[in-house]
Amino acid sequence: MTRYLHLIINSRHSWNSFVFVQDQGKQKLHFWRVMFWPPPFVPSKVLFSDASLTGCGAFVQGSSLFSHRNWSMEESQKSSTWRELAAIKFALAAFEAHLSGLRVRCNTDNHNNDIEFMETSEKMRVPDGI
């Protein structure tokens, strides 16, 4: 909150008093409303995944859902970023029936690949080539 809004709040006579917000205060309130609306992303489910040289695994927090698989020889030769994204794609496909229509946050140990999926009627998509 800004100094000006603090001055307005501190000018009240009591906790139950009404305050008059002048134009400058309204401008500040409008700024904060625009900056934080819609509210920050709040996921319905959180997916954790990890990939190694030999395979990948994933689970959905707060559930018994988990998946894992081994990489083919060709897949194991790909970059770690590719393997992390492929792990997310594999997990989303494995859990599609449980995650469809929900807000999902995908966490990995490679923060370049942390992804947030909003509610959508479209299929969840990961970049082509994965």
Query: Which CATH code fits 45-117?
Result: 3.10.20
pTM as predicted: 0.61
Tens digits of residue pLDDT in 61-110: 999 999 999 999 999 999 988 999 999 999 999 999 999 989 898 888 87
Give the start-to-end residue ranges of the domains of the chain: 3-35, 45-117
Name the pLDDT band for 31 (thresholds 50, 70, 90): confident
Name the pLDDT band for 116 (thresholds 50, 70, 90): low
Report the distance separating Cα 66 and Cα 62, nearest Å: 11
- CA-based radius of gyration for the chain: 23
What's the pLDDT score for residue 18?
A: 85
